[in-house]
Amino acid sequence: MPAKYHGRIANTAGDSFLLEFPSAVEAVRFAVAVQEGMSERNRNFPVDRRIEYRIGANVGDVMADGDDLLGDGVNIAARLEGLAEPGGICISRTTRDQVRDRMEIGLRDMGEVEVKNLARPVRAFQVIIGADETDGTMGQIPNLLHKPSMAVMPLENMSRDPEQAFFADGITEDIITALSRLRWLFVIDRNTSFSYKGQTYDTAQVGRALGIRYVLEGSVRQAGGRIRVTAQIVDAPKAEQIWAERFDRVLDDIFDLQDELTLAIVANIDAELTDSERQLALARPTESLDAWGLYQRGMSFFYWQKKQDVEEALRLFDRAIQADPKFATPYSARSFALAQMFIQGNADDLDACGTQAMADAEKALTLDDRDGFCHYALGRACTLAGQVDRAIPAHEKEVELQPNSAMFEYGLGFALTWFKRPLEAIPHLDAAVRLGPHDPLLWAFYNLRGNCRLFLKQFGQAITDYNLAIQFQGHQFYPHLYLAATFGYLGQRSEAKEAYDRAYQLRPDLRGVSVRDLLPHAELAELEEGLRKAGLQF
Q: Is residue 136 part of a domain?
A: no
Tell me the three state secondary structure of residue 332. helix
Do residue 315 and residue 224 come from a single domain?
no
310 or 164, higher pLDDT: 310
Q: Is the pLDDT of residue 133 over 50?
A: no
46-71 average pLDDT score:
75
Q: Model confidence over 281-300: pLDDT tens digits?
A: 777 777 767 888 899 999 98
Q: What is the CATH number of the domain that holds 55?
A: 3.30.70.1230
Query: Do 455 and 449 touch, CB atoms closer than 8 A?
Result: no
Say how far apart CA 280 and CA 274 lie, in whole Å.
10
Instruction: Determine what percent of the chain is predicted with pLDDT higher than 70.
Output: 87
Are residue 291 and residue 193 in the same domain, yes or no? no
pLDDT recorded at residue 116 = 63
139 domain-assigned? no
Among 5-9, 30-34, 410-414, 450-454, which stretch is predicted with the lowest mean pLDDT?
5-9
Domain boundary residue among 254, 282, 310?
Answer: 282
* pLDDT recorded at residue 530: 92
Mean pLDDT of all residues in 489-515: 84
| Better-predicted residue by pLDDT, 147 or 344 | 344
153, 246: one domain: yes
> Rounded to a whole number, what is the largest CA-CA distance in the chain?
94
User: C-alpha angle with apex 279: 475 to 287, nearest 5 degrees?
Assistant: 115
Kindly state whether residue 419 falls inside one of the protein's structural domains.
Answer: no
- pTM for this model (two decimals): 0.67
Residue 412 lies in a domain: no
Kindly state the average pLDDT of the residues 116-131.
71
Q: How far apart are the first and last CA of the chain?
A: 72
Contact 406, 271 (CB under 8 A): yes
User: What is the distance between the alpha carbons of residues 396 and 245, in angstroms, rounded to a whole number?
Assistant: 30
Expressed in percent and rounded to 5, the helix, strand and coil fractions of the chain are 55, 15, 30
Judgement on whether residues 471 and 387 belong to the same structural domain of the protein: no
Q: Using an 8 Å Cβ cutoff, are 217 and 231 in contact?
A: yes
For 186-190, what is the mean pLDDT?
81
**What integer pLDDT is reported at residue 435 of this predicted model?**
84
Which pLDDT band, with edges at 50, 70 and 90, does 129 fall under? low
What is the rounded average pLDDT for all residues in the chain?
A: 83
Taking the C-alpha atoms of residue 173 and residue 134, their distance in angstroms, rounded to an integer, is 29
| Residue 325 or residue 520, greater confidence | 325
What is the predicted pLDDT for the residue at 135? Answer: 35
Residues 37 and 110 in one domain: yes
- Domain that includes residue 64, residue range: 2-128
CB atoms within 10 A of CB 519: 20
Q: Mean pLDDT lowest for which of 37-51, 277-291, 383-397?
A: 37-51
Q: Residues 435, 408: contact at Cβ < 8 Å? A: no
- pLDDT given for residue 144 in this prediction: 40
Report the alpha-carbon distance of residue 77 to residue 62 in Å, rounded. Answer: 11
| Least confident stretch, 28-32, 127-131, 299-303, 389-393 | 127-131
By C-alpha distance, which of 488, 482, 477 is closest to 466?
Answer: 482
Single out the residue in 282, 309, 336 at which a domain terminates: 282
pLDDT at 137 > cutoff 50: no
Domain assignment of residue 456, yes or no: yes
**Shared domain check, 229 and 182:** yes
**Is there a domain that residue 397 lies in?**
yes
Q: Is 51 left (phi over 0), alpha (psi -120 to 50) or beta?
A: beta
Strand pairing class (55-57; 68-70): unpaired
373 and 270 in a single domain? The answer is: no
C-beta of residue 537 within 8 angstroms of C-beta of residue 514: no
Are 464 and 536 part of one and the same domain? Answer: yes
Mean pLDDT along residues 312-330: 92
Do residues 397 and 429 both lie within one domain? no
CATH at residue 235: 3.40.50.10610
**Cβ-based neighbour number of residue 378 at 10 Å:** 28
What are 408-418's pLDDT values in tens digits? 999 999 999 99
Range with the poorest average pLDDT among 38-47, 209-218, 273-282, 286-295: 38-47
Cβ–Cβ < 8 Å for 56, 84:
yes
Least confident segment among 131-140, 232-241, 399-408, 502-511: 131-140
Residue whose C-alpha is closest to residue 72's, from 26, 106, 126, 122:
122
pLDDT at 427 over 60: yes
Q: In the structure, what pLDDT confidence band is assigned to residue 119 with cuts at 50, 70 and 90?
A: low
Q: How many domains does the chain have?
A: 4
Phi, psi of 436 (to 5 degrees): -120, 55
Whether residue 301 sits in one domain with residue 369 = yes
Is 414 within a domain? no
Above 70 in pLDDT, residue 357?
Answer: yes
Domain boundary among the residues 337, 370, 403 is at 403
The DSSP code for 5 is G
We report the CATH number of the domain holding residue 431 as: 1.25.40.10
429 and 497 inside one domain = yes
Q: Average pLDDT, stretch 250-265?
A: 78
Return the number of other C-beta atoms located less than 10 Å from residue 221's C-beta.
Answer: 17
Same domain, 108 and 158: no
Domain assignment present for residue 124? The answer is: yes
| CA 290 – CA 297 distance, rounded (Å) | 11
